[in-house]
Structure 1
Amino acid sequence: MSEKSVEQLRAEIAASRERLAGTIDELTTRAAPKALMQRQGEAAKQRFAAATTTPQGDLRTERLAAVAAAVAVLLVVRCMLRRRGH
């Protein structure tokens, strides 16, 4: 078994430091609030698209109508509660 020279060990340590620095930079970038918000926004868009369109890209009108009806009911209830409060 051959022993490594001091210069080889130094080179290996320097290479390890470079890899570690790159990994830390990547993790820092991924964990940045702006990056997290962007990924969450993209995921929300994908979930919305999946819920409102078929795999062929056609609108799922029954789901959109159900959401619109739910929002309308909530708005009516909110208006009724405000009127009672005044």
Structure 2
Amino acid sequence: MVKRTSAPRRGSRAISRLATPDRLHLLQEASWNLSAISYCIASVGRDLAGKPNNPAAMDSAGQALEWLADEMQRRCVAIDEGLS
């Protein structure tokens, strides 16, 4: 039988998680990696958007990838602002 305990309430000292320098470094590194991935996705999106074979499908896929890259970059900025 599994013992169930109630989850600590927000703001309680029981879940006080301070960001240690190691955690901050890991978050910063993850943000940088995510940012690099977003640049790669944006590049693929621009390449797809410019393909003449099937302009409608490729243009949509390219635009979707560029949007995804922008969203990833926006979240990286939010993470970086939260860390500073």
TM-score, structure 2 normalization: 0.35
TM-score, structure 1 normalization: 0.34
The higher radius of gyration belongs to 1
Larger RCO, structures 1/2 (Cα 8 Å, 6+ apart) = 2
**Greater share of residues in helix:** 1
